[in-house]
Structure 1
Amino acid sequence: MSRLTRTLSAVVVVAAGLVAVPVPAAGADPVPVDVPAVQGPVPGTVPGDPKAPEVDGTYPWMATDVDLAKAGYVEQEFYVSGKADGYSTAGARVGEDVPYRTRIIVRRPANPARFNGTVLAEWQNVTAGYDLDALWSPEQIMREGYAWVGISAQRVGVNHLRTWSPARYGELDVTGGGQFNADELSYDIYAQAAKALRSPSGVRPLGPLKVRTLLAIGASQSAGRMTVYYDQVLPQTEAVFDGFANLVGTAPSRKGSEPVFHVLSETDVRTPARRADDDRYRRWDVAGTAHSGWNGQQYRKSILDRDLGAAPTYDCDQPPFSRVPLHHVITAAYGHLTRWIHRGVQPPTAPPLEFNADGTKARDEHGLARGGIRLSQVEVPTALNTGDNSGETFCRLFGTHVPFDEVKLDALYPSHGRYVKAVAESDARNVRSGYLLPGDARQNLLDAARSDIGKN
């Protein structure tokens, strides 16, 4: 059915100057997702890159400073344009065929033989006022052979791009010329950008790669947008994604056809109330981790220094940024989600974080959270890592990291060998349980062996 036919046949009401189309009844034909036009790759690289000098004086916002070529990866940016429908957060269609133009950034294996077949399509987070590669975890993603695509779907991120580089991004618009400033178009834009990855027409954003699995991934604010998409928009539109990874944020309440993997840091678990796991939903809580921890902050610092002039700094009440690597667990979840989709192998369950009778989080003698997935950084601790903090702006999201003093470390680990052995045993348990990938366990073991713990 064409968009015009849908428009003429729909029962519409006019409210606040917008056309609101009621959600179709159960069994109605799904609204198709268009394949947008794709242009690119857009020329331009970061200043001073000796391997690929600047072409036109511009470069992609937050272009990675990781040596992609060494890992056999490439980074390319594309413009994506088309006409999108708009939806309210309740799922009512409030606009049709609204022109838009945005961008996607692709990091993928150069050689198809290195590609594992799964694309991670990230709804870029805009809480900081700009597009954030919140889930780009280069070591794990490239080691495992994923393709990662950042999709700019929201007004705040796109408007920042327009201001940051008018020459590169000045023609981008996801508001229909200012008609839709509450991101009503974002759901269809996200789906259309994903459709261009799976069923390209003309320019192929993924080059020679053939997509087997397309995962929708989003962190925090983006997970909230994906929740609205899954619960309210997806039931009435064509399905584009094979599965959803809602991370450190909300997750759908609806049970749909596509499986949902919900991974939460300690920061995000505020009460013992939780949706029960089922054959389409899995939730993992990860003890000691922060909503925004050390790994992501360290990766982005040099890039934000380059692109903003300086990365943000924070004065928190406790030393910030838990160093328990939540991204290790997230990468393991991607593999489980892919197997769940293709082979029907349900992911392992995980124990919830524990709470006291008064509603506070249960903690051990070191102050570490009880329950949940317990990585070796929590099971064999050398510091107090929690998901809690307070202070200015985003401090509540950063968790804490307070290294143990030498007296406590000596009491816990009388010898270096015993410490290394304990790390290896903890990681082996997590690998067997499916919470940790072998590559990350190997790196943990190397880090433990190189440390001074237990050598005094």
Structure 2
Amino acid sequence: MTHARKCWAVAAAAALMVTLVPASSAIAEQARTPISQPAVSGPIPGTVPGDRLSPVLADTYPFFSTPDDLAGAGYVEQEFYLSGVADGWDLQGNLVASDVPYQTRILVRRPASDHRFNGTALVEWQNVTAGYDLDALWNGEAIMRAGYAWIGVSAQRVGVNQLRGWSPTRYGTLDVTGGGLYNADELSYDIFAQAAKAISSGGRGSPMGRLDVRTVLAIGASQSAGRMTVYYQNILPKVEPVFDGYAFIVGNAPTRVGEEPVFQVLSETDVRTPVRPSPDTDQFRRWEVAGGAHSGWRGQEYRMPISVRDLGAAPVYNCTLPPFSRMPVHHATAAAYDHLVRWVRHGTPPPTAQPLVFNPDGTKARDSLGLALGGIRYSQLTVPTALNTGDNSGQTFCVLFGTYQPFDQATLDELYRTHGGYIAKVVLADLRNIHSGYLLPADARVNLREALASSIGQ
């Protein structure tokens, strides 16, 4: 049983013991609707072999199956059907439907054995902004290094409909609209919560195998963070808690202060005003990453071959400036997950972080190189070799990509007279971020390897 469900069970039991004048909190706990236990079937047969399949065999593996070396890290990828009946909620938290049948899928990447598992499941609300399910927060290197389990939930109509068309054999029975009656994703909130309940329940047929899940975190990026905000803000006060903590990445976060801690990580792209809607509290943290993009280079590089394999081609963008900031926002999310686990399990709040700095006219303050001031400042920004910003413009999604413009040789020569001097500055900057809690030591080692392999200062 997870921390959230234990607390809810204790509160519910206490409410039942109050017979004369119940406290308001006890009444609230009594009124919260239990989350239904869904049926789980699978794993669904079929995985991607080492050589890429032809489109005619697309039915044999999960859509957007990861090309990462899971086996080498002691991990497995499995897909399951999730089905049951779900309640429907509108954006204001009003109940608009009850017990509507649904079937969807969850994609599980987890340690194959318990000794590799750190006890925490990251349950991601799959992002559908592009018109299909996107595992936007799958950071295989950090997730597998730490021993997390990752679970992607297909909760929304757009993503599920695309799956049905991509492989009618594998996904043709999926439906999250109640047969077309609820096309505004009214069922998505309960489906997401039921997926978490399936993950934490364990037992025979569990999608987690024999892993003992101690902590369940809800994570979502961009549009998915917006959906999770509606859930936390308006629906969670009325239903059984099944998540122990929440991570809202490059997107909205709730302003309501609840029992479950909330961590918001934003790139420079996402911070468009000096007005912050919520200050840091004992239950809320907000980090802003200077130079980072809403959708940066690392995610684009990871998804390019998958898009070619499963969609026939990778998207091409014509942006005003060279796109895809290389500032490692994923380093912040990796650190945030670790902090969130400690917050949930031990009550240890994460460190606060300086916000990005704005000029009096409302524009972002920048140094002489054009780099943002304030925020979390990784070595890629404080020991720069390129202009990384969160800003861009142009067609379709260009506004989300930020910019990456390498410095010319004259600028590099002026900044770094020797290779050793450059390395020393990188190490010092990373040590400061480790000490501040913004960077994991393992990611600092990645930075060091990249700096050593560069020709800067030579």
Equivalent residue number for residue 348 of structure 1:
351
Supply the distance in 1 between the matched residues of 2:204 and 2:133 (Cα, whole angstroms).
Answer: 26
Equivalent residue number for residue 16 of structure 2:
none
Kindly provide the amino acid, as one letter, of the partner of residue 242 in structure 2. V
Kindly provide the amino acid, as one letter, of the partner of residue 231 in structure 2. Y
Equivalent residue number for residue 229 of structure 1:
231
Partner of residue 305 from structure 1, selected from 303, 308, 333: 308
Partner of residue 289 from structure 1, selected from 289, 292, 297: 292
Kindly provide the amino acid, as one letter, of the partner of residue 182 in structure 1. A
User: SS state of the match for residue 342, structure 2?
Assistant: helix
How high is the TM-score relative to the length of structure 1? 0.92
Equivalent residue number for residue 438 of structure 2:
435
Cα-Cα RMSD: 1.6
Q: Report Cα offsets for 1:264-291 as digits up to 9, x if no partner.
A: 0000000111110000000000000000
- The Cα of 1:47 is off from its aligned counterpart by 5.2
Kindly provide the amino acid, as one letter, of the partner of residue 113 in structure 2. N
Kindly provide the amino acid, as one letter, of the partner of residue 104 in structure 2. T
After TM superposition, the structure 1 = structure 2 runs for residues 145-184 of structure 1, keeping only pairs within 5 Å, are: 145-184=147-186
Equivalent residue number for residue 17 of structure 1:
none
- The Cα of 1:154 is off from its aligned counterpart by 0.2
Supply the distance in 2 between the matched residues of 1:404 and 1:232 (Cα, whole angstroms).
Answer: 47
Residues 43 and 56, structure 1, Cα contact 8 Å, conserved in 2: no
Supply the distance in 2 between the matched residues of 1:360 and 1:234 (Cα, whole angstroms).
Answer: 36
After TM superposition, the structure 1 = structure 2 runs for residues 266-277 of structure 1, keeping only pairs within 5 Å, are: 266-274=268-276, 275-277=278-280
Supply the distance in 2 between the matched residues of 1:31 and 1:397 (Cα, whole angstroms).
Answer: 38
Equivalent residue number for residue 41 of structure 1:
43
Identity %: 66
Residues 264 and 283, structure 1, Cα contact 8 Å, conserved in 2: yes
Residues 216 and 245, structure 1, Cα contact 8 Å, conserved in 2: yes
Partner of residue 66 from structure 1, selected from 65, 68, 80: 68
- The Cα of 1:372 is off from its aligned counterpart by 0.2
Supply the distance in 1 between the matched residues of 2:122 and 2:370 (Cα, whole angstroms).
Answer: 35
Q: Does 1:391 align with 2:394?
A: yes
Kindly provide the amino acid, as one letter, of the partner of residue 338 in structure 2. G
Residues 336 and 347, structure 1, Cα contact 8 Å, conserved in 2: yes
Supply the distance in 2 between the matched residues of 1:326 and 1:430 (Cα, whole angstroms).
Answer: 13
Equivalent residue number for residue 19 of structure 1:
none
Kindly provide the amino acid, as one letter, of the partner of residue 426 in structure 2. V
Q: Does 1:445 align with 2:444?
A: no
Supply the distance in 2 between the matched residues of 1:26 and 1:143 (Cα, whole angstroms).
Answer: 40
Supply the distance in 2 between the matched residues of 1:272 and 1:263 (Cα, whole angstroms).
Answer: 16
What is the total number of aligned residue pairs between the two structures? 430
Kindly provide the amino acid, as one letter, of the partner of residue 451 in structure 2. A
Supply the distance in 2 between the matched residues of 1:343 and 1:57 (Cα, whole angstroms).
Answer: 44
Supply the distance in 2 between the matched residues of 1:29 and 1:88 (Cα, whole angstroms).
Answer: 19
Supply the distance in 2 between the matched residues of 1:288 and 1:319 (Cα, whole angstroms).
Answer: 14
Kindly provide the amino acid, as one letter, of the partner of residue 290 in structure 1. A
Equivalent residue number for residue 20 of structure 2:
none
Equivalent residue number for residue 9 of structure 1:
none
Q: Which runs of 5+ in 2 are unaligned?
A: 1-26
After TM superposition, the structure 1 = structure 2 runs for residues 112-123 of structure 1, keeping only pairs within 5 Å, are: 112-123=114-125
Residues 202 and 212, structure 2, Cα contact 8 Å, conserved in 1: no
Supply the distance in 2 between the matched residues of 1:155 and 1:371 (Cα, whole angstroms).
Answer: 39
Task: Say which is worse superposed, 25-34 or 249-258, in terms of deviation.
Answer: 25-34
Kindly provide the amino acid, as one letter, of the partner of residue 273 in structure 2. T
Residues 37 and 201, structure 1, Cα contact 8 Å, conserved in 2: no
User: SS state of the match for residue 87, structure 2?
Assistant: strand
- The Cα of 1:35 is off from its aligned counterpart by 1.0
Supply the distance in 2 between the matched residues of 1:80 and 1:29 (Cα, whole angstroms).
Answer: 26
Residues 199 and 207, structure 2, Cα contact 8 Å, conserved in 1: yes
Q: Report Cα offsets for 1:89-111 as digits up to 9, x if no partner.
A: 00000000000000000001112
Residues 202 and 210, structure 2, Cα contact 8 Å, conserved in 1: no
Residues 203 and 210, structure 2, Cα contact 8 Å, conserved in 1: no
Partner of residue 81 from structure 2, selected from 64, 73, 79: 79
Residues 44 and 55, structure 1, Cα contact 8 Å, conserved in 2: no
Q: Does 1:214 align with 2:227?
A: no
- The Cα of 1:202 is off from its aligned counterpart by 4.2
Residues 387 and 397, structure 1, Cα contact 8 Å, conserved in 2: yes
Q: Which structure carries more helix by proportion?
A: 2
Q: Does 1:314 align with 2:314?
A: no
User: SS state of the match for residue 422, structure 1?
Assistant: helix
User: SS state of the match for residue 394, structure 1?
Assistant: helix
Q: Report Cα offsets for 1:240-299 as digits up to 9, x if no partner.
A: 000000010000010000000000000000011111000000000000000000010000
- The Cα of 1:200 is off from its aligned counterpart by 4.0
- The Cα of 1:28 is off from its aligned counterpart by 4.6
